[in-house]
Amino acid sequence: MPFDRFEGHRHALGEYFVHTQDVARANGLDQEAPGKDVEDALWLRVQVAARQLHRRRTPGLVLETTDSRSARVTGGAPRTVVTGAPSELMCWVYGREGVADVTVRR
């Protein structure tokens, strides 16, 4: 996406990943887990996406990975902590709460 102002934050990666998951999960397709490089790139992207998509909707949002990385992504006192692999956090942040393999603590 050469003219995408968010490309430095891997906007295209997040979009393609989530929409691929939409198709795969809805149709029960087997998938390999994303590799470390993809998970690392998704971790960077999910922090930006969460700020954009949850700024008003989820004040005090904290994302945590299963390998102990953490990011407070919206303002306010921490009130919602979502834990999972970056790929699963990406699904949750993009509104796929029902299929994302995450733990939500409020």
- As beta bridge partners, residue 10 has none
Mean pLDDT of 53-79: 94
Mean pLDDT of 31-56: 92
pLDDT 10s digits, 4-35? 555 555 677 888 999 999 999 999 999 999 99
**Tokens of residue 48, six digits:** 């930006």
What is the set of domains in the chain, with CATH numbers? 7-105 (3.30.1050)
Whole-number Å distance between alpha carbons of 71 and 80: 12
pLDDT score of 26: 95
Quote the percentage of the chain above a pLDDT of 70. 91
